[in-house]
Amino acid sequence: MQKQTELAVAANRTRDLPKSQTGIRGLDEITLGGLPMGRPTLVCGGPGSGKTLLGLTFLVNGVLQFGEHGVLMTFEENAEEVASDVASLGFDLPDLIRTQQLAVDYVRVERSEIEETGEYDLEGLFVRLDYAIRSVGAKRVVLDTIESLFAGLKDDGVLRAELRRLFRWLKDKGVTTVITGERGEGQLTKQGLEEYVSDAVILLDHRVHDQVSTRRLRVVKYRGSYHGTNEYPFLIDATGISVLPVSSMALAHEAPLDRISAGIPRLDGMFGGKGFYRGSTVLVSGGAGTGKTSLAAHFLDASCRRGERCLCFLFEESPQQLLRNMRSIGIDLEPWVEKGLLRFHADRPSRYGLETHLSTMHQLVADFKPAVTVLDPVTNLMTVGTFADVQAMLTRMIDHLKTENITAVLTSLTPGQTEVERTETSISSLMDTWIVLANDDLGGHHRRGLYVLKSRGMAHSNELREFVLTDHGFDIAANGAAHATAPGVGHATAGGRDRHAAL
């Protein structure tokens, strides 16, 4: 919390430092506006960490979004290879070159073809770069990967002196430059380029853990500017690079007073008759078969009836299964799907790493712009990552949804009736509202109960209420009935309740 405030203050203070937006989702937020304008930024990382793509995205976005022309000087691949690498992302480099918005110069150095016979400098490189910059009126330059020169030329001393001169020259030219560098042992880059580029350094990391790959980005240094210092997950997918979270920099969520129906009148009644706050996060926890998904389905149905878009992430069932099951209790969601108001996204949690799930969700939320989301069940994500990772991921996701003022219902599977899952307790602090569902088979009767464990900022019922699942969905017993008719349920959850009291 403290940190967020500091960053907000810092954002104001560093507003004067001119920045060049990358147009990469998340990166501009972390750097509070982009890369230092007119200065070089070093982007380093191991092979396949996305350095080149980051550079290219910076260039292409420069042209397409910010009207700044660019120069790519590539030392490893020729123009055709680079173009075909990024064609799948929708980057049409040949077209940008044809329309003189982008210039690509492939610098090829082959040590075996060169005889060194005395003093030389790299003025030829300067001439080429200068020519390319002038030919398109470039404001952005990417050098990828200039360290290749060390393999091509023998005289390290000359090379280092010339690189130092080059970076100074680029600064004098006032072009915003991205210099990529291969990650080295014990230093950021193999050739210690970080010594020469002191304005900003971004480190990309690509790890594979339990066969799940995770990409992370960290701003190691940013002279004259505050920046997020954490490692941020980033993703390379069909739409290019994005860095998450987009929203982590500000905890200034709006806190709307607007209330929306949960879709079950008596449940609304338990929240003072008005339902949930819009933009709040609701946890629905309970054992298997307690009706968590059904409760969420009521909420989806009600939201669609209001004409609001709903996005539902399924981590267990397929959309077809869910639609069928809900129809059996009288909730027909299919028309909403057909109307385009309700969209499902089903994924096996184990299919990707958490970062990918998180990123996919961000992407879908950005595309579909829902008013309401449901995640069913979040506990299934526990199979993918460590406890801390899942917690961190959900924190980021919820944070993002709140920023977007999206109301979220998360269901959580509690294995036993009295045991409170670690997931629940760990994420409960993120939740504005927590509804607990429970089953009870005492006395040969299968009975269901629910109660509101907490609900921030509103008066709510503390009662345990019995309900039945009918062919028209949830039927919650009238006020006070639960005490009389479902003592067993009350008993079964009492332990859990005591433990929750501290929350």
Partner 1 sequence: MQLSENHADDAPSPEPKAYRLRLYVAGKTPKSILALANLKQICEEHLLGRYEIEIIDLLENPQLAQGDQILALPTLVRRLPEPIKKIIGDLSNKERVLVGLDLQERR
Quick one: how far is CA 199 from the chain centroid? 27
The stretch near partner 1 (CB under 8 A) out of 93-101, 108-116, 278-286, 410-418 is 108-116
Minimum CB distance to partner 1, residue 152 (Å): 8
**What residues between 325 and 344 interact with partner 1 by CB under 8 A?**
none
Q: Which of 425, 427, 439 is nearest to 286 (CA)?
A: 439
Q: How far apart are CA 83 and CA 490, in angstroms?
A: 65
Minimum CB distance to partner 1, residue 159 (Å): 10
Q: How far apart are CA 77 and CA 55, in angstroms?
A: 14
**Which helix (H) or strand (E) covers residue 29, if one does?**
helix 27-30
Asked if residue 161 binds partner 1 (CB under 8 A), the reply is no
CA dihedral sign of residues 351, 354, 359, 364: positive
Among 44, 63, 86, 122, binds partner 1 (CB under 8 A): 122
The residue to which tokens 């990469």 are assigned: 24
Minimum CB distance to partner 1, residue 134 (Å): 8
Number of residues that bind partner 1 (CB under 8 A): 24
Query: Is 78:238 a contact under the CB 8 Å cutoff?
Result: no
Convert residues 263-292 into a mask of x (bound to partner 1 by CB under 8 A) and - (unbound). ------------------------------
The stretch near partner 1 (CB under 8 A) out of 11-19, 118-126, 198-206, 228-236 is 118-126
Asked if residue 157 binds partner 1 (CB under 8 A), the reply is no
The residue to which tokens 């929350």 are assigned: 503
Query: Is 146:164 a contact under the CB 8 Å cutoff?
Result: no
- Give the gyration radius of the chain's Cα atoms: 28
Minimum CB distance to partner 1, residue 158 (Å): 8
Q: How far apart are CA 232 and CA 244, in angstroms?
A: 6
Query: Is 280:435 a contact under the CB 8 Å cutoff?
Result: no
Q: How far apart are CA 101 and CA 132, in angstroms?
A: 11
Among 1, 88, 115, 288, binds partner 1 (CB under 8 A): 115
Minimum CB distance to partner 1, residue 121 (Å): 6
Asked if residue 202 binds partner 1 (CB under 8 A), the reply is no
Quick one: how far is CA 455 from the chain centroid? 27
Among 9, 87, 127, 494, binds partner 1 (CB under 8 A): 127
Asked if residue 185 binds partner 1 (CB under 8 A), the reply is no
Asked if residue 123 binds partner 1 (CB under 8 A), the reply is yes
Asked if residue 119 binds partner 1 (CB under 8 A), the reply is yes
Burial class of residue 253 (count of CB atoms within 10 Å of its CB; 0-12, 13-18, 19+): middle
The stretch near partner 1 (CB under 8 A) out of 148-156, 211-219, 397-405, 449-457 is 148-156
Among 3, 15, 98, 108, binds partner 1 (CB under 8 A): 108
Q: How far apart are CA 320 and CA 323, in angstroms?
A: 5
Among 153, 220, 329, 346, binds partner 1 (CB under 8 A): 153
- Contact residues for partner 1 (CB under 8 A)? 105, 107-109, 113-125, 127-128, 130-131, 149, 152-153
